[in-house]
Amino acid sequence: MQITALSFSEAEESGVGMDLVLSKESIDNIINVLDDDLLRAGADCVILVDRSGNLIVNRGDPANLDVVALAALSAANFGATAEIAKLIGEDDFALLFHKGKNENIHFTKVGKGFILITLFGKDVSLGLIRLNTAKVTDQLIPILGGEQ
Amino acid sequence: MSFIDLSKNEVQCKVVYYGPGRGGKTTNLLYIHQAMTEAVRGKMVTIDTKGDRTLFFDFLPLALGKIQGLSIKIQLYTVPGQVMYNATRKLVLKGVDGIVFVADSLRVQKEKNVESLENLRQNLAEDNIDIKEIPLVLQYNKRDLGGSNIPILSVEEMEEDLNQELQVPWFTGSALKGDGVFETLREISKRTVKYVSRKLLSR
């Protein structure tokens, strides 16, 4: 699997914030990872966003789901809980989980700058999702520019 | 932080409306939301408003067409203006690519405008962003109150208070009536896209 992502970490050093450019090949690689390990495990929808709220990739069946708003709200949610983490002496939380009546949502931190959102129904076990998101996270980090 | 997706030839940028509380940031977004067709705009999200104040942020995604084959998507955010919500403002500013500073023309808000701009400068500096580097446009809002008996600041006075050092583009506006809203949006979009592409081309 060839990695062609360009991550402009030098931009961060120069003080203008980090930008991300992903080639078609990198996007395809991300899609393969998400499809193989999460959709096939029973997730309804998998979305990768950055922590400033940009939607990077969404897979699965997001019918009737406003993924752009979900991306912005998830980034905000993660930011808000990071503040809670600081109050109890943690830097950040690595994952968040919200349980609904029929649909559940699982958020995992990917490197420093990204969040993986997994939507799954009540018939899918949380343990399986947690196991697979951990695997997916390890595979996504090098594609997204080697962020740790 | 902008994101460029080369598989879709799409660029996403983040523009934040900043300014003192009750200055008209949300009203700007509401006007844009009402005036644009559904093909251009996404759903507007407003979180946790208590009365007419923004507690977290408002969010409105826009698709602004194509420049040199790249689809431009801009996401507009507002911050809560009240002084005590600084942690939330910092959170919303994360990864910002362009800023609209909505200043309140009411004379009683003179100091609040200056304080809020200074707060913006500090919050950006904490993220290693120089307020003079990032695209910034000022909007002197509530000009429609000019004819009423409510004392308002003159444009010259607002320029002196806020823009003497920055020398950035400014517009008079009345977000409630829509005056100046699209002029402001056009200018900040143009500057933000230029800024993002310049950053990328310089590599």
Q: How many whole angstroms separate alpha carbon B37 and alpha carbon B200?
A: 31
**Domain of A73, in residue numbers:** 30-140
Domain annotation covers residue B145? yes
Domain annotation covers residue B90? yes
Residue A17: which pLDDT band, with cuts at 50, 70 and 90?
Answer: very low
Asked if A66 and B130 come within 8 Å (Cβ–Cβ), the reply is no
Q: Are the C-beta atoms of A134 and A37 separated by less than 8 Å?
A: no
State the total domains in chain A.
1
Domain annotation covers residue B177? yes
B63 vs A contacts (CB less than 8 Å): none
Taking alpha carbons only, the member of B115, B14, B133 closest to residue B74 is: B14
Q: How many whole angstroms separate alpha carbon B36 and alpha carbon B149?
A: 33
Convert the pLDDT of each residue in A30-80 to its tens digit: 999 999 999 999 999 999 999 888 999 999 987 788 999 999 999 988 888
CATH code: domain of residue B160: 3.40.50.300
Domain annotation covers residue B41? yes
Asked if B47 and A23 come within 8 Å (Cβ–Cβ), the reply is no
State the total domains in chain B.
1
Domain annotation covers residue B47? yes
CB atoms within 10 A of CB A98: 10
Domain annotation covers residue A66? yes
pLDDT (tens place) for every residue of chain B, 203 residues total? 788 898 999 999 999 999 999 999 999 999 999 999 988 999 898 875 556 666 688 899 999 988 878 899 999 999 998 888 898 899 899 999 999 999 999 999 999 999 999 999 999 999 999 999 999 999 999 999 988 889 999 999 999 999 999 999 999 999 999 999 999 999 999 999 999 888 777 76
- Whether the CB of B170 is below 8 Å from some CB of chain A: the reply is no
Asked if A76 and B127 come within 8 Å (Cβ–Cβ), the reply is no
Two structure tokens written together for A102: 């029929």
Q: Are the C-beta atoms of B26 and B54 separated by less than 8 Å?
A: yes
> Helix, strand, coil % (nearest 5) of chain B?
40, 30, 35
Domain annotation covers residue A10? no
List the single residue in A22, A51, A80 with the smallest CB-CB distance to B5: A22
Taking alpha carbons only, the member of A45, A90, A91 closest to residue A71 is: A45
Q: Are the C-beta atoms of A133 and A36 separated by less than 8 Å?
A: no
Taking alpha carbons only, the member of A69, A30, A25, A49 closest to residue A113 is: A49
List the single residue in A12, A19, A72 with the smallest CB-CB distance to B45: A72
Helix intervals (H) in chain B: 25-35, 86-93, 110-126, 155-158, 181-201
Two structure tokens written together for B182: 């699209």
Domain annotation covers residue A94? yes
Q: How many whole angstroms separate alpha carbon B15 and alpha carbon B98?
A: 5
Q: At B141, which helix (H) or strand (E)?
A: strand B136-141
Report pTM: 0.87
Domain annotation covers residue B50? yes
Domain annotation covers residue B105? yes
Convert the pLDDT of each residue in A84-116 to its tens digit: 898 999 988 999 999 999 999 999 999 988 999
Q: What is the ipTM of this complex?
A: 0.79
Q: Which of the 8 DSSP states describes residue B148?
A: S
Domain annotation covers residue B202? no
Q: DSSP string spanning chain A?
A: -----EE-HHHHHTTS---EEE-HHHHHHHHHHHIIIIITTT-SEEEEEETTS-EEEEEE--TT--HHHHHHHHHHHHHHHHHHHHHTT-S--SEEEEE-SSEEEEEEEETTTEEEEEEEETTS-HHHHHHHHHHHHHHHHHHTTS--
Alpha-carbon distances of A129 from A34, A137, B114, rounded to whole Å: 12, 12, 49
**Domain of B59, in residue numbers:** 3-195
Instruction: Give the chain A residue whose CA is nearest to the CA of B134.
Output: A16
Q: How many whole angstroms separate alpha carbon B85 and alpha carbon B68?
A: 40
